[in-house]
């Protein structure tokens, strides 16, 4: 007798979920409300009801992720400036462009430092489609009961 193993392919890949800032548990609910410069994070996943700030000071770690992103951007802007300016030695050109990039990418860093932390640096959090689906059904039931109670 042959054993049959059913391989469940995730509906949404991890890379896709990270780029679109989706919840790490269900990969369906968005972590942030729309907007590039004004980033607003949802308290709970709109799909599976996962509470994003898992404990007080949870997003303290994202500060270090943001630092790493900033260093990578500084180096990229510095090298890009050097190449595009034909090897300029004007310090103010580099400082100005790096400062400009810092302000321009502040929203990006805020958002993706949290997304990367939740997807890669939290060992207690992973893609769990079955649990997420159950949590979604419980959330929908609760909403329906509230609607019935309010009528």
Smallest distance, Zn ion to C-beta of residue 92, A: 46
48 binds Zn ion, rule: CB under 5 A? yes
Tokens for 105?
């990418």
Q: Residue 21 region, left (φ>0) first, then alpha (ψ -120 to 50), else beta? A: left
Binder to Zn ion among 17, 31, 47, 59 (CB under 5 A)? 47
Q: Which of 10, 12, 25 is nearest to 119 (CA)?
A: 25
Whether the CB-CB separation of 48 and 137 falls below 8 Å is answered with no
Q: Which of 114, 142, 127, 133 is nearest to 58 (CA)?
A: 114
Smallest distance, Zn ion to C-beta of residue 48, A: 3
Smallest distance, Zn ion to C-beta of residue 141, A: 17
Report the residue count for the chain. 151
Of residues 80 through 139, those in contact with Zn ion by CB under 5 A are none
Smallest distance, Zn ion to C-beta of residue 119, A: 12
C-alpha 22/C-alpha 114 separation (Å) is 11
Binder to Zn ion among 17, 31, 50, 115 (CB under 5 A)? 50
26 binds Zn ion, rule: CB under 5 A? yes
Residues lying near Zn ion in the complex (CB under 5 A) are found at 23, 25-26, 29, 45, 47-48, 50
């Amino acid at each position: 007798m042959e054993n049959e193993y059913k391989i469940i392919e995730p509906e949404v890949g991890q890379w896709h979920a990270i780029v679109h800032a989706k919840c790490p548990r269900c990969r369906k609910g968005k972590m942030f409300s729309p907007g590039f410069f004004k980033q607003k994070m949802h308290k709970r996943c709109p799909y599976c009801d996962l509470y994003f700030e898992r404990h007080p000071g949870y997003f303290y770690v994202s500060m270090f992720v943001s630092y790493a992103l900033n260093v990578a951007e500084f180096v990229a802007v510095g090298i890009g400036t050097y190449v595009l300016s034909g090897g300029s030695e004007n310090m103010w050109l580099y400082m100005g462009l790096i400062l400009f990039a810092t302000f321009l990418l502040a929203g990006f860093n805020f958002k993706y430092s949290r997304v990367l932390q939740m997807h890669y640096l939290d060992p207690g959090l992973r893609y769990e489609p079955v649990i997420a689906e159950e949590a979604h059904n419980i959330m929908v039931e609760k909403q329906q009961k509230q609607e019935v109670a309010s009528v």
